Structure 1
């Protein structure tokens, strides 16, 4: 499983959004999906975390990211959840409020599921053989 990367939760209108930010969002979505799977079975989700400066994002990619987050909140919607935008179209503007929503929602889910996953007891079994003394 991927490791949680601290999200940027203080976006402003003067901040620049780049491929590393979207990679962080998708990485953290994958981490949250792993935590949610402790509790329910999820449909297959696709994550892209290898973007670079040569990649151009399209509306279908943003829709996939937002739908992934929406799937992850189906079992539990945290207080303060910001409604996902799943109707991205070509040339729709992406603002700092969109960046804030993506990171904020993931952080809410992570905080909830991280605490609950740590409370799940892990049990195992001991197998003892009959050895001649």
Structure 2
């Protein structure tokens, strides 16, 4: 189930485990939408983080790589390039948080619209008879 992303990140906001879980959940949702049209390489997501467990550089590299996989066949016009070279102690700020959520939101809007319209394309109508 799609979780509404936070698109209004500011320098005063804090990023926590719930935010990473939301980003990964939404990645999985978009992968499911794309699967209506094409197959994707396996996307690994982790959504069980809590206050005791939050990894960072490795997860960010995986999360951003997942977004790169999702955009292989369609790149939205407002797409913000992913950072794919996170290392321990690299600074993460509200711009990075905004990028992760915004890119997923753009992909969701595009693919959700395609899936919603998909059922109307090529529809078969059978058995219409006048009684």
Tell me what 2:23 maps to.
25
Tell me what 1:108 maps to.
106
Tell me what 1:16 maps to.
14
Offset of residue 55 of structure 1: 0.8
C-alpha distance in 1 between matches for 2:22 and 2:65: 16
Gaps (5+ residues) in structure 1?
Answer: 127-133
Offset of residue 63 of structure 1: 0.2
Offset of residue 121 of structure 1: 2.5
TM-score, normalising length: structure 2: 0.90
Tell me what 1:79 maps to.
77
Structure 1 window deviating more from structure 2 (55-64 vs 66-75): it is 55-64
Tell me what 2:41 maps to.
43
C-alpha distance in 1 between matches for 2:74 and 2:64: 16
Tell me what 1:59 maps to.
57
TM-score, normalising length: structure 1: 0.88
Tell me what 1:92 maps to.
90
